[in-house]
Structures are given as C-alpha cells and as structure tokens.
Amino acid sequence: EALTDGTVTDPETSRRYLRIIRDESGRLGDLTRVLLSLADLDAGVVEFDRGPVDAEALADSVRARFEPRAAERSVRFEVGALDAAVPLGDAARLLQAASAVVDNALEYTPPGGEVLVSARAEPGCWILTVDDSGPGIPPGDREAVFERFTRLDRSRSTTGGGSGLGLSLSRRLVRLMDGDVRAEDSPLGGARIVLELPAQAQAQR
C-alpha cells in the first residue's frame, strides 16, 4: 500500500519493499505447490517412472534454481558432481525432493554460511547429501522434522521459518521410489539431510 499511494519515495526503500514482496510471493507459490503435491500423494494420483535418472542434469537444475537465492543471502552454495552412481526413480520427483531439502537448508543457514550438495555410491545405492552450517537438528527432533507442519525453533530460521512441509514431502516422494531420507549431524556444524535411492548396477552404466 505504501508503494502504491506514494508514501514511500526513497528508491532504496522501494527496492527493499519490492524484494520483500517478491520473496513472500515466491514462498506462497512454493507452499501452494507443496500442498498440491501432498494432496495428490494422499489421493494416490501421482504416477512415478522407475528408470535411470541423469544425476548431472539433476545437479544442473538444482544449481540453476538455488544459486541466485544463495548469492542474495551471502551463502556459499556448491553442488558437486552427483553422478557417483545412476539413481533409479522418477527424475521430476527426485528433483522435487532434492529441491525441498536444499530449500530447507538455505532457510536455516545464516549469511556467511554454506550449503553443500554432494553424492556418493554404496553397493546398490545412490546417496545424496545436503549439508548446511546452520544450527543443526537436535537428535530428539530428527524424526519429528519429517512430520507435516513440524518446525523447529523459529530463531533457527533466517527468514522466520518455513512451512514445515518440505522435508515431509521429500521423504514421502523418496520412499515411494523405494528409498529413504534421514537427518544427521553435518561436518559443517549444522544439519545433514541424506536421500538414499536404489542405483543402477555398475555394469549397466
């Protein structure tokens, strides 16, 4: 309202208000998409592919989506090579699950911190890890964070807290692809979220 009625005349103040409007609009759009995805999962109307996923295309998509946001927040954001193995699942749903985890990491990482995305292979598995240098997740909350609408202390968040739905959606999607998601301590001092999926046999690559 202050922008439309001419109350705000300082250009820098106007830009700040516009950034707030843009960010909040983006958050509302993300929340709507998550809610719709959960509703579709509850209704059993989501279809999944069961094929090999291009892990480097996944890495490119994650970089493109989150590098600008990380730069705005002065957070070091790095996505390493994710093709340690070939994950099996649905490419679009895996991107959705990984994005929810990265979004959560950025939510809780303060300016000057870092978020690192990497992958490794274990026998029969492709394992994606998202590490952040935020305040971490206490051991007693590491299952609760995957329940819908669960948010930890708002003081942990750099923006006042997310929806409490992203990690729940991520685990739901990955489990439907015969994998799992868990929370651990990160060597960066914050949280590590681990997504584990079946991998294509090495000889078939």
HEC letters along 128-172: EEEEECCCCCCHHHCCHHHCCCCCCCHHHCCCCCCCCCHHHHHHH
Residue 88: its H or E element: strand 88-89
Inter-axis angle of helices 11-43 and 166-176, to 10 degrees?
40
**What per-residue confidence (pLDDT) applies to 205?**
44
**What per-residue confidence (pLDDT) applies to 66?**
96
**What per-residue confidence (pLDDT) applies to 166?**
86
Distances in Å between the Cα of 52 and the Cα atoms of 36, 41, 59, 120, 195 are: 26, 22, 15, 16, 16
- pLDDT band (50, 70, 90) for residue 12: confident
Give pTM, 2 decimals: 0.76
Of 29, 21, 16, 22, the residue nearest 163 (C-alpha):
29
Distances in Å between the Cα of 103 and the Cα atoms of 35, 70, 77, 131, 198 are: 15, 10, 12, 12, 23
On whether the CB atoms of residues 173 and 118 are closer than 8 A, the answer is: no
Digit-coded pLDDT (tens) for 119-130: 999 999 999 999
* pLDDT over 70 at 20, yes or no: no
**What per-residue confidence (pLDDT) applies to 143?**
94
Q: For 50-204, CATH number?
A: 3.30.565.10
Q: Distance between CA atoms of 130 and 184, rounded to whole angstroms?
A: 10
Q: Distance between CA atoms of 112 and 96, rounded to whole angstroms?
A: 26
Digit-coded pLDDT (tens) for 29-72: 555 555 566 566 666 766 777 899 999 999 999 999 999 999 99
Parallel, antiparallel, or unpaired for β 76-79 and 114-122?
Answer: parallel
Q: Per-residue pLDDT averaged across 112-138, rounded?
A: 97
Domain ranges of the chain: 1-46, 50-204
Q: Distance between CA atoms of 96 and 62, rounded to whole angstroms?
A: 10
Q: How many residues does the chain have?
A: 205
